[in-house]
Amino acid sequence: MNLESNLVTRLVLLFTLTIFASMALANNSVKRCRPIFKDGVIKTLAQSKTQLKMTDGTMIALKAHSELQIDMGDGYSNVISMTLFKGSLRTVPGSIDETSGHYRLKTPVGKVISTSAHFEVDIIDDAVFLSVWTGSLDFVATVGKPAVNIRLGEGQGYSHAKIDAKGLLTLLNKGR
């Protein structure tokens, strides 16, 4: 085999591998408008993020290194329960959420039980940080004694809070 035919063989092999690699990547890539199945878990990796658009228009954004489980409920109550195990979630309410708060969000230290808010939840180390940008939300700690119940957001005096692993509440700044 001469040098020229060896080079042609290598180029053909490289071209073929490039085509197959491109096809494999295209088949495994995340596509827009993919459905979320009942009890689905969404995980984001390093240098990634995702947005979910719910049927009522609610937008849920996950930052890198996040893990969110979605339980679509029993089909009768229209309540969608979510659990944020780690990372960060930001939500902008849609029509259902604005009228009656049919989304519930659990965290390692408590749960958002009622909201008409554009809010963010960040889990950093063992603490949960809550930020309300518009509207208000109610949060109940599920750790610590006595249990912490807090309303954050418009008209509440505070819009940001930290709840640690023992249920200790720290209000971080004045609200609107």
Of all residues in the chain, the percent with pLDDT exceeding 70 is: 68
Q: Is 72 left (phi over 0), alpha (psi -120 to 50) or beta?
A: alpha
Residues 131 and 150 occupy one common structural domain: yes
Residues 45 and 126 occupy one common structural domain: yes
Residues 22 and 53 occupy one common structural domain: no
Q: Which carries the bigger pLDDT value, residue 156 or residue 77?
A: 156
For residue 103, give both structure tokens.
């989304």
Q: What residues make up the domain containing 94? A: 34-174
Half-sphere exposure of 99 (CA within 13 A, CB side): 7
Is the pLDDT assigned to residue 144 strictly greater than 80?
yes
Q: Which carries the bigger pLDDT value, residue 161 or residue 59?
A: 161
Is the pLDDT assigned to residue 27 strictly greater than 60?
no
Residues 87 and 137 occupy one common structural domain: yes
Residues 123 and 166 occupy one common structural domain: yes
Residues 72 and 19 occupy one common structural domain: no
3-state DSSP percent of the chain in helix, strand and coil, to 5: 20, 45, 40
Residues 84 and 127 occupy one common structural domain: yes
CATH number at residue 120: 2.60.120.1440
Pairwise CA distance, residues 164 & 176, whole Å: 24
| The residue to which tokens 């309540």 are assigned | 79
Identify the band that residue 10 occupies on the pLDDT scale cut at 50, 70 and 90: low
Counted domains in the chain: 2
- Whether the Cβ atoms of residue 159 and residue 173 lie closer than 8 Å to each other: yes
Residues 38 and 123 occupy one common structural domain: yes
Residues 38 and 75 occupy one common structural domain: yes
Over the chain, what is the mean pLDDT? Answer: 77
Residues 109 and 70 occupy one common structural domain: yes
Strands 103-106, 80-92: pairing is parallel
Residues 83 and 144 occupy one common structural domain: yes
Verify cis geometry, omega within 30 degrees of 0, for the bond prior to 93: no
Residues 39 and 81 occupy one common structural domain: yes
pTM above 0.75, yes or no: no
